[in-house]
């Protein structure tokens, strides 16, 4: 597995990471804990060194799972987690209804970090993200608090998730950002406009979550796919049968290239992301070993400049249908 550096920070991680959320949150009922521990350890055995979790996933149970599974590999892996939500016992398992409010007050950040350190069974958090920008707390206060936590040895690197350009710049002045994590894939290309150029200018790495379009870009879903009510995709405008039918054109494009490259649509989607910039690291999530191995195989797929031009040209003619989040959640992004 090749490695990549996240911007100028020197933080080196596997070129493809593993998003752990779906193991215990959002995509239907939590998966079997022992099976997920085995999967996480299988990922390490296959060269993945970058794992993504958050206190809100569960809440808390995903960090506990990751902490237990990766305890034997301390020092060999990089674990990223996130703070920024007010967690309450009534949190819906889909992470939607009764979704928690935002809270990035300095004392709350410290509380969250203390809990994450315990659950992850580590002395220092490798990469700590603000999960969503809190409009009620100046980003300078957030960055200043994380800076103190870095000085205290509780955190190594600072990141933001789904932040807009002005927030990124303001935070970076106080405490240099190692990474920005936002959704980015062939069907979610908003970061290309302003965010990626800003990351390049400032030397910030980019971590792409949902690089396979929450499963859609694997080609395993279509308008007849029935999503369980506990699956948060059932609440997303982009996963209505009409939208999935309209967006099938993207799958057809990926499948066409995949056939030529003797690869799968998912591998082409990941290889496309890897080809965009050397400091972009996708973190596809999965709960299945065969999918994990398929995703890892994307690093072997080489897309030529001609391939990339063909994908861009074809993708630019496809209008993606449906917003990626309901309005309330979309309002939390890009601030």
What pTM does this model have?
Answer: 0.96
Length of the chain: 335
Name every residue whose Cβ is closer than 8 Å to that of residue 140 and which is 6 or more positions away in sequence: 170, 171, 173, 174
Q: What is the pLDDT along the chain (335 residues), one digit of tens a residue?
A: 999 999 999 999 999 999 999 999 999 899 999 999 999 999 999 999 999 999 999 999 999 999 999 999 999 999 999 999 998 655 554 444 456 799 999 999 999 999 999 999 999 999 999 999 999 999 999 999 999 999 999 999 999 999 999 999 999 999 999 999 999 999 999 999 999 999 999 999 999 999 999 999 999 999 999 999 889 999 999 999 999 999 999 999 999 999 999 999 999 999 999 999 999 999 999 999 999 999 999 999 999 999 999 999 999 999 999 999 998 888 889 99
Q: Which helix (H) or strand (E) holds 296?
A: helix 289-296
Position 85 scores a pLDDT of 95
Q: Is the peptide bond before 59 cis (omega within 30 degrees of 0)?
A: yes
Contact 40, 73 (CB under 8 A): no
Q: Shortest CA distance to 228 belongs to which of 22, 64, 21?
A: 22
Q: What are phi and psi of 136, to 5 degrees?
A: -90, -5
Question: Which pair of tokens denotes residue 327?
Answer: 């309005």
Domain-located, residue 58: yes
Q: Give a yes or no: residue 249 inside a domain.
A: no
Residues 6+ apart with CB under 8 A from 271: 263, 298, 299, 301, 302, 303
Q: What is the pLDDT of residue 88?
A: 63
H or E stretch at 13:
strand 12-14
Give the number of C-alpha atoms closer than 13 A to the C-alpha of residue 3, restricted to the C-beta side. 9
Does residue 319 fall inside a structural domain? no
pLDDT at 90: 53
3-state secondary structure 26-87: CECCCCCHHHHHHHHHHHHHCCCCEEECCCCCCCCHHHHHHHHHHHHHCCCCEEEEEECECC
50/12 Cα distance (integer angstroms): 9
Contact between residue 68 and residue 96 where contact means Cβ atoms under 8 Å apart:
no
Which residues lie across from 158 on neighbouring strands?
Answer: 128
Query: Residue 198's domain spans which residues?
Result: 3-214+276-301
- Residue among 17, 18, 120 at smallest CA distance from 69: 120
Q: Does residue 15 belong to any structural domain of this protein?
A: yes
CATH number for the domain spanning 95: value is 3.20.20.100
Total domains in the chain come to 1
> What pLDDT is stored for residue 328 in this prediction?
87
315: exposed, middle or buried (C-beta count within 10 Å: 0-12, 13-18, 19+)?
middle
| Residue 238, domain member (yes or no) | no
Looking at residue 123, what is its pLDDT?
Answer: 98
Cβ density class 130-157: b for 16+ within 10 Å, e for less: bbbbbeebebeebbebbbebbeeebbbb
- Whether residue 160 is contained in a domain is answered as yes
Position 180 in a domain? yes
Instruction: Name the residues annotated as catalytic.
Output: 57
CA distance 28 to 24: 8
Give the position of tokens 């190692």. Answer: 178
Does residue 145 sit within a domain? yes
């Amino acid at each position: 597995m090749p490695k990549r550096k996240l911007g100028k920070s020197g933080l080196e991680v596997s070129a493809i990471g593993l998003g752990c959320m779906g193991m215990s949150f959002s995509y239907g009922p939590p998966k079997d804990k022992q099976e997920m521990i085995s999967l996480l350890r299988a990922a390490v055995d296959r060269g993945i060194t970058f794992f993504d979790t958050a206190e809100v996933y569960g809440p808390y149970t995903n960090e506990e799972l990751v902490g237990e599974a990766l305890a034997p590999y301390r020092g060999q892996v990089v674990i990223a987690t996130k703070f920024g939500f007010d967690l309450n016992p009534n949190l819906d398992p889909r992470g939607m209804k009764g979704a928690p409010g935002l809270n990035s007050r300095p004392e709350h950040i410290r509380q969250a970090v203390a809990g994450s350190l315990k659950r992850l069974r580590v002395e220092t958090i490798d990469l700590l993200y603000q999960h969503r920008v809190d409009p009620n707390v100046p980003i300078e206060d957030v960055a200043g608090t994380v800076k103190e936590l870095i000085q205290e040895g509780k955190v190594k690197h600072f990141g933001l998730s789904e932040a807009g350009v002005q927030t990124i710049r303001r935070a970076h002045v106080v405490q240099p950002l190692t990474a920005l994590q936002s959704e980015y894939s062939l069907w979610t290309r908003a970061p290309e406009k302003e965010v990626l150029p800003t990351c390049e200018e400032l030397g910030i790495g980019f971590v792409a979550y949902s690089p396979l379009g929450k499963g859609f870009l694997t080609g395993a879903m279509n308008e007849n796919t029935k999503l369980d009510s506990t699956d948060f995709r059932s609440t997303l405008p982009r996963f209505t049968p009409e939208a999935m039918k309209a967006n099938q054109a993207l799958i057809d494009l990926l499948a066409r290239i995949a056939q030529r490259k003797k690869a799968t649509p998912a591998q082409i989607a990941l290889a496309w992301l890897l080809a965009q910039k050397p400091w972009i690291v996708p973190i596809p999530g999965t709960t299945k070993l065969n999918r994990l191995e398929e995703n890892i195989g994307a690093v072997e797929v080489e897309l030529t400049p001609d391939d990339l031009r063909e994908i861009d040209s074809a993708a630019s003619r496809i209008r993606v249908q449906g917003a990626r989040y309901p309005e309330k959640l979309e309002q939390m992004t890009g601030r």
